[in-house]
Amino acid sequence: MTHRKNRMKISVGLLTIAFVLIFAGVAAFAQSRTDPALFATARKALPPDLSTNAITKALDAGLWNSNRTALAISISRLPKPTVIFVFLKQASGEYLASDVSAVEGGNFGVLGVSGRNGYDRFETMPVEWLHRDDGRANNS
């Protein structure tokens, strides 16, 4: 009987350890891997009404160029316009932020949609870095 109780304690102990390891692995996987310098720049540059969670999700889902020196993000805030930013990594490891949200109005203007009411149902998001053909340095 004592042998059976010891085996039971060992089994419960092993199950507990396995559960803790699985839980720790899932928690570590779920945490953002966003560069702290990038997050700090984003927090300062983006509108103050955006939550930390929304910023983290946008940075994690953003579109990096091929050498990871530029990141384009968009955050939908319906009924407000989409927030669209590009973050450029500097040699120092810091980031510069550029608000390119105005591109949304220009894009819909080209399509012939005038005024914000005409495109309230649309959301702008970066999908591809395009090759530069103007003779300047291309970091994409």
**Same domain? 47 vs 19:** no
Confidence bin at 101 (pLDDT 50/70/90): confident
**Same domain? 54 vs 92:** yes
Average pLDDT rounded to a whole number, residues 68-88: 89
Environment class of residue 55 by beta-carbon count within 10 Å: exposed (0-12), middle (13-18) or buried (19+)?
buried
How many structural domains compose the chain?
Answer: 2
Average pLDDT rounded to a whole number, residues 57-73: 93
Structural domain contains residue 140: no
pLDDT at 116 over 60: no
Range of the domain at 43: 36-119
pLDDT at 74 over 60: yes
Structural domain contains residue 130: no
pLDDT at 31 over 50: no
What pLDDT is recorded for position 77?
84
Structural domain contains residue 11: yes
Identify residue 88 by its one-letter amino acid code: L
Structural domain contains residue 136: no
pTM higher than 0.75 for the full model?
no
Burial 69-89 (b: 16+ CB within 10 A, else e): ebbbbbbeeeeebbbbbbbeb
**Same domain? 24 vs 42:** no
